[in-house]
Amino acid sequence: MKTSSQAYAYGLGAVLLWSTVATAFKIALTFFTPLQLVFVATLVSSLCLLGLLGYQRKLPLLWQQFRARPLLYLQTGLISPFLYYQVLFKAYDILPAQQALSLNYTWGILLPLLSVPMLGQKLRASDIIAALIAYFGVLVIATEGHIATLEFEHPLGIALCFTGTLLWCLYWIVNTKDKGDPVVSLLLSFLVALPCITLMLISTQSLPQLSFTALLAGAYVGLFEMGITFVLWLLALKKATRTASISNLVFLSPVLSMCFIALILGETIMPSTLLGLGLIILALLLQQLLPHIGKHRRPRIRRSL
């Protein structure tokens, strides 16, 4: 296969798998509490990544990278998976999958806004426009279309979704300081978090009772939300001749996700969800396109000879 074809194959594979995880979350949460699911998924993903790095003969990098930046991996591990996935799974436990999925996509809008105070980046007009459109879409979804009365049926679930997007943005902002192998870094975050997750689970709840179906559901979340899909996406970006062409594949994910939610979970997709999600996707597109449009419209100044 040509490099570009390989990039699209890896990218489409990642997007397809990511599109199934919202449905997988809801199914797995019928067997586990949110904390139990974090434990099972993190354990499975850690074993998967250990196997991958062993195959690639990169296991020595684990100690090398951790020794170089131990506090960094302590931060990333505590943010995600320890805090982020507990919050995310609790939100999915409360909300319909279609709402939790849609609200979760706002992290792409929040990230550049947080990058202004935390990374010293400039706030662009496109970021403000995108934020206004996206959060109006959030309002449509959260109120299920009752914008005039501002009625929220699941305020805790909505608050958890916003907290989750904040944690996910903080995770990526902290990750900007990491210059190591990304798969090694991901596994280090999991290995740091796993003892904390286990201790919290034992002290507050109990270890999950694992039937074959429950283990399959938890393993699916661990492999295709946290582990393998991340590696596929990295391979797609690495082999792509143009990163933007691969990154745009992400916009297929919410559409496919809604199909899986409707077909497998049997949720009736509400018009307010479709409208709100459409506004969020529009905002994400404008956030990418508007800066380029502005560059092309700038008048050229002729230099005098």
Q: In this predicted structure, what is the pLDDT of residue 264?
A: 96
HSE (CB half, 13 Å, CA atoms) of 28?
A: 28
- 266 φψ region: left (φ > 0), alpha (ψ -120 to 50), beta (else): left
List, for residues 253-277, the tens digit of each pLDDT value.
Answer: 999 999 999 999 999 999 999 999 9
3-state secondary structure of 44: helix
From residue 265, alpha-carbon distances to 214, 225, 262 in Å are: 16, 18, 6
List, for residues 183-233, the tens digit of each pLDDT value.
Answer: 999 999 999 999 999 999 999 999 898 899 999 999 999 999 988 898 888
3-state secondary structure of 121: coil
Q: In this predicted structure, what is the pLDDT of residue 146?
A: 76
Counting Cβ atoms within 10 Å, is residue 108 exposed (0-12), middle (13-18) or buried (19+)? Answer: buried
| Lowest-pLDDT range of 28-42, 118-132, 172-186, 279-293 | 279-293
| Lowest-pLDDT range of 42-46, 258-262, 283-287 | 283-287
CA distance 281 to 59: 39
CA distance 248 to 29: 30
Tokens in use for 179?
Answer: 């210059």
Q: Is the preceding peptide bond at 81 cis, omega within 30 degrees of 0?
A: yes
Q: Contact at 8 Å (CB) between 171 and 40?
A: no
With bands split at pLDDT 50, 70 and 90, how would you rate the model's confidence at 122?
confident
Q: In this predicted structure, what is the pLDDT of residue 305?
A: 37
Q: In this predicted structure, what is the pLDDT of residue 303?
A: 45
For the chain, the C-alpha Rg in angstroms (whole number) is: 20
Mean pLDDT of all residues in 66-92 = 96
Parse the chain into domains and list their residue ranges.
3-291
With bands split at pLDDT 50, 70 and 90, how would you rate the model's confidence at 280?
very high
3-state secondary structure of 266: coil
First to last CA, the chain: 50
What residue spans of 143-175 are helical by DSSP H?
155-175
pTM confidence score: 0.90
